[in-house]
Structure 1
C-alpha cells in the first residue's frame, strides 16, 4: 500500500501529528549489577543497578506520544559481581541476567569483551537462555556455529491513517577486536574479531539492501580517535560518519553521553549527545543510567519510513529512583544465594587491605596478591631451567575509583576474611601466567605502567596526580624490584603502547636485590592472563617467552594464600617496590574515596593536606612531592 507523505497521526487532543516517534531504550556495561547491591561490602548500593533501571524503563515506556519502544543492551553484562561467579559455578540454574531481560522485555542484546571472560562454553550456555536475539556482527566462530547472529532485522508495525505500515529496524553489534587478545586463553583459534568500522560499513549496506528503514548500532566501543584506523578499540566517531547509520548506543569506556562536559573534538556535541550529527548515548556502567534515543520517523509517498529528527538523553538511576519490586522479587533467590556464597570463610588478615592510596604509598592489598601469585608459581619452577632466575610478581589496583566513582575501591577490614573480600581484592576472573622477561622489557613495562601519572613541575600549580583517561589497573607494580618514579619527566608511551617521547625515562634507579638491572638480565614474572596477553597496550610483553602452567584462577590462589594453604612467600617480605623521586616544590592532588579518611594515619609523616570532597564525591589530598 502507498501512503501519502501528508499522512499524519491524530494526537490525544485531536491534533494531527506528522511524525511517528520511535523510542530506543538502552543499557550498557551492567557488569551483572542487577540488584543494586554491593556484594563486596555486603550492603545496598545507594544508586544504580538493573532493578532501579527497571523503574526508569517502565516510566519511559509509559510516556505519551510514543508509537513504538524498543529495549536493547550493549554488552558487558555477564561479568562483574560475585553473582556472575556464582552463575558459572552453578550452570544448571537459570541465569538471572536472562531472567531479568525476559522480565523487562528486551528486544535485542549485543556482546562486549567481558562477556567472553568465562569462556565460550559458559557464554554459549548462557546465551541459549536469552529471551531475545543476541547480535555480534564482527565476532566469528572458527570452531563451530555461533550462539549469536551477525545482524538482525526487527520488523514492527506503525499505524498510519489507520493502517499498519511495516517498519524494519536493522541492528548491528560490534566490540573491540582486542577482545581475542585479552581472553586469548579462551578465544585464540576459536574466534576471530574483525575491524569495527569495516564491519559496520559492510553490515549497514547489507541491511539497507534488505530494506531496513532505521539502522541502529550497538557499539561496545568508546568515542576514540576522530579518524578510522585498522583495529580501533574505540571507534564511535568514525562509526557515526557512516551515512547509513541512524543511531548508536556506545559503551566500553564507562563514560556518559550526553554529558555536560564539553568535548574538544569538533565531531562531538557532548551536551546534545551528537556525533557527526547522529544521536549517541553512552549510559555509564553498573546500571547508573538509562540511555534514551528518540527518533522522529516520516512516511514518504512510497510507504518508506525515514528518520527526520532525533534526540539523545540519559536518565540517572539515582537514590531518588525506587527499586522495581517485581524484578527484585524475581531476583531474590539468586540474590540470597550470592550473599551466602560471598560470606563463606576464606582466610585471615591481620591488617586492613585497601586501595585508597595505591598511587602514592605502599599497598598491602597489592602485596598480598603479588605474594600469592609468586607462592602458587614457585612449585611449577622446581627443576626447570628457569628456576635459578629471580622471581618477580606483577599486580595492579583493579578497584581504584576513576570512572567507576568514589565508592569503587578495595576496602577489606582486618580479621577473618570471606569470599567477598577475596573478590574485592581481585575482582576479575583472571588466571595466573608466568613469563621470562629481560631487563629491557621490564623497564619498558614499568614506563608504560607509570604513564597514568601526570607530568608535575616543581614551580607549577598543583594539578591532578593521575590522568583520568587512563584506568588505574594500568599501574602495574613489580614486586621483587626497587625503582623510583620521576614525575617531572613526560610519559614515554601513549595509551596504546606507542613511544611518544623516545628520550623520556621516568623509571630511575631500577634494581633487584640492590643490584642495577641490565638490559639482557632475565627474570621470571608472575602476572595475570590479561596483562600477559598484552592487555592495556603493554605490547612489550609480546616478546617475552611464556612458561606453561595449568589453569590457576588468581582468586583461588589468593584464597589459598590467605588461608595458609600456600606458604608465606619471600616477596611479601621485600621492601615496597617503588617511590617517587624527590621533586622539591612539586605538588599534586590525589582524588580518592572518602572512606580513605579512616586510613590517613598510614600517611603520617608525609606532606599531605586534606582539601575536602570535590563535586564528584572524591576526597582530594594535596601531596608534596
Structure 2
C-alpha cells in the first residue's frame, strides 16, 4: 500500500511511486477516453492493502471506512481483484475492508469454507458504448485469480477457512460461466506473473497459459512486480514484450507501488451473428516518474483530493514511526547483502533467536543448538535502486525497525538435520547466476526473488558459484550432481548427518514460501503469535537479552574462482560503503539505465 509518494522508512518523499500520483494519470486517461466517446473500465489487481506502515493504520477500526476504499470510490473504480498479500492481515480485517468497498471485490479461485465470502466470484457489467453512430449495450464479464500457494503462505490464518483452487482450471470454468451469462467481452484480473509457457497444475505465475485460454479478451497481470509492455520479458515464448501481447492477447503488468498505470485500448466490431469481437488492441504503461531511480525533475503531480484524503493517516504514521526504540553503533544497510556481511540481517537473526529461546525451555528441544534464518527484505531488484535498507549509526526509531525488516511476518521454529540444512542453503544460493572465468555476468539471477536468499546464522558454509543451481525456482531438483554449498560447519566442525538443530524463521518460509524443498520434511515447534517487527523492536530496546548468535561469525563466503569477475547491481548510495567490499577488489563501473550502481567484483 503505497498511497503517498513517500518513503516512511527514510522519512523522505519518493517521486517514483504513490497512488496520489497514479490518480492523476487515471483522471487524465479517463478524460482522453471521454473525449473519444470510449467506454472505460477501471480495475485494481490486488496486493493493495498491505506493504507500508500506512496499511496497518488504515485497518484500525477507528479509522474506518478504509481510506483506500474511499480513494477507489473517489476515482470511480469498477472492480477490485485480490492478491495474496491482501489475506495477510487476516480474514476478519479483510472482510471489514471489503465491506467498505463501493465496487465489486473479486477473487474467483478463493473459496471460503467457514462462512459466506465477503468477495465475489465474478462480476458482470452492462455498459453503454458508441459503435459508429449507435449507442449499444455491452456486457463485460470480469473474474480474478491469485496464486493457489496463498493458502500455504498464509496457512496460519487461512487453514480450514479458505481453499485456493488452480488458476487455469478456475479461469477456464469462469470463461464458460461468463459466456453462458451472455458476456460480450471477458477480462481476466490475474494476480499472477509470467512464468512457465505451458499449462501445469497449481502454477504461481500462470499468465502465459492463462492468456492461451479461448474466450479471454484481455488480461491484467501482476504479483511479480515486473512490467509489460517492456523489455523485462524479451524473448519469452508466446510473448510480444514490446507490444504487451501474450498469445496475441493484450496484457498489461504495471509494476508495483503505484509506479505506473497500465492501459489497454480495445477496438471491437460486430460479428455476423450479432455478437462482438476484438478487432484491434493496444497496450501501454504510463509511469508516474520517467526515471525509475526517482531522479527525474518532472514526476507526475500528486492528486490534491487524494492528498487531502490520506493526510491524517500520513501525518500519524510519520509521528508513530519517529518514536525511538534503541541505539546502534553500526551502519545497517542492505547494499551488499548478497556478497558481504549484512549487519541488519545479523541483528534480525539474533532477535529471532532471543525471542525463541524462552519457549524452548522445559521442552524436548531445550538442549538443541539454536540457529536463525533470515533474508533481505529490501534489496533493490524489481522495486528499483532506492529500495534498500539504510540506517545510520545512532538512535533507532520505529521506522528504522520497519526499514531493517519490512514484512509483517511472524516468528516460527522448526527442527532440522544436516540434509534439510543443505537443501535449504542450496535453494537459497539459487538466487545467484553461475559465474565462470572470462564470462562476466551479474551476480544475481534477475528471475529469482532476492527475499529467498536465506542466510542461517550460527553455522558457516561456502558457496561455489562456478557450479549450476541445484534447484529450480519451483524447488525441483535439477541434477543431483549440482552442488553449490560446501563445508557446512557448526562450532568449527563439520555437521554430522544426524545432528539436529532448532532454526528460528518466519511464517512465510515455514509455510512453504519460496518453494524451499525442506519444508515438508521438518518438524515444526508450536509458538504463540510473535510479530517479527515487535521482536526486533524488543531486542533493540533491551526487552530481549543480547543473543549469542549476534557475535557468531558471518555464515557464508564465496569459494574462490580464479580469473572470474561479476557485476553487483546495487543502490547508488552504496558508494559511501564500498570499503566493505575490499576483499573483492571492487571497481565502480557506473550506473545502468535504471539507476542501479554497477560494481565489478573479483571472485
TM-score range, shorter chain: over 0.9
Counterpart residue number, 2:36: 65
Is 2:527 the partner of 1:558?
A: no
Counterpart residue number, 1:334: 313
Return the TM-score normalized by structure 2: 0.96
Indicate conservation of the 8 Å contact 1:455/1:490, yes or no: yes
Indicate conservation of the 8 Å contact 1:165/1:303, yes or no: no
Shift of 1:608: 1.1
Shift of 1:615: 1.2
Shift of 1:130: 0.7
After superposition, what is the alpha-carbon deviation per residue over 1:529-577, rounded to whole angstroms, capped at 9, x for unaligned? 0001111011312111111100000100000000111000000011111
Shift of 1:474: 0.8
Describe the SS at the equivalent of 1:130. Answer: coil
Describe the SS at the equivalent of 1:610. Answer: strand
Describe the SS at the equivalent of 2:42. Answer: strand
Measure, in 1, the Cα distance between the counterparts of 2:500 and 2:79.
50
Q: 2:518 aligns with which of 521, 532, 540?
A: 540
Indicate conservation of the 8 Å contact 1:254/1:403, yes or no: yes
Q: 1:582 aligns with which of 557, 560, 563?
A: 560
Is 2:33 the partner of 1:55?
A: no
Counterpart residue number, 1:419: 398
Counterpart residue number, 2:433: 454
After superposition, what is the alpha-carbon deviation per residue over 1:315-361, rounded to whole angstroms, capped at 9, x for unaligned? 11114311111211121111111111111222211111110010111
Indicate conservation of the 8 Å contact 1:490/1:501, yes or no: no
Q: 2:368 aligns with which of 383, 389, 403?
A: 389
Counterpart residue number, 1:272: 243
Measure, in 2, the Cα distance between the counterparts of 1:620 and 1:57.
35
Counterpart residue number, 1:119: 90
Is 2:503 the partner of 1:525?
A: yes
Measure, in 1, the Cα distance between the counterparts of 2:193 and 2:583.
41
Is 2:477 the partner of 1:499?
A: yes
Give the aligned CA root-mean-square deviation in angstroms.
1.4
State how many pairs are aligned: 593
Counterpart residue number, 1:149: 120
Call closer, same or farther: CA 1:289–1:92 in 2, change over 3 Å.
closer
After superposition, what is the alpha-carbon deviation per residue over 1:448-507, rounded to whole angstroms, capped at 9, x for unaligned? 0001111112x3232111101111111100000011111111110001101102111111
Which structure 1 segments of 5+ residues have no match? 1-31
Measure, in 2, the Cα distance between the counterparts of 1:603 and 1:158.
61
Indicate conservation of the 8 Å contact 1:533/1:542, yes or no: no
Describe the SS at the equivalent of 1:307. Answer: strand
Measure, in 2, the Cα distance between the counterparts of 1:360 and 1:450.
11
Counterpart residue number, 1:433: 412
Shift of 1:87: 2.4
Call closer, same or farther: CA 1:474–1:160 in 2, change over 3 Å.
closer
Counterpart residue number, 1:29: none
Shift of 1:66: 3.5
After superposition, what is the alpha-carbon deviation per residue over 1:33-64, rounded to whole angstroms, capped at 9, x for unaligned? 11111111111102221111111111111113
Is 2:322 the partner of 1:343?
A: yes
Indicate conservation of the 8 Å contact 2:423/2:517, yes or no: no
After superposition, what is the alpha-carbon deviation per residue over 1:81-109, rounded to whole angstroms, capped at 9, x for unaligned? 11012224455432121111111110000
Describe the SS at the equivalent of 1:186. Answer: helix
Call closer, same or farther: CA 1:498–1:161 in 2, change over 3 Å.
closer
Describe the SS at the equivalent of 1:604. Answer: helix
Q: 1:362 aligns with which of 341, 352, 357?
A: 341
Call closer, same or farther: CA 1:162–1:581 in 2, change over 3 Å.
closer
Is 2:207 the partner of 1:236?
A: yes
Measure, in 1, the Cα distance between the counterparts of 2:593 and 2:269.
43
Comparing 153-162 and 93-102, the one that deviates more:
153-162
Equivalent residues in 2 for 1:155-166, closer than 5 Å = 155-160=126-131, 164-166=135-137
Shift of 1:406: 0.6
Measure, in 1, the Cα distance between the counterparts of 2:233 and 2:427.
28
Equivalent residues in 2 for 1:310-325, closer than 5 Å = 310-318=281-289, 319-325=298-304
Counterpart residue number, 1:213: 184
Equivalent residues in 2 for 1:118-267, closer than 5 Å = 118-160=89-131, 164-260=135-231, 263-267=234-238
Describe the SS at the equivalent of 2:435. Answer: coil
Describe the SS at the equivalent of 2:201. Answer: coil
Which structure 2 segments of 5+ residues have no match? 290-297
Measure, in 2, the Cα distance between the counterparts of 1:320 and 1:378.
49
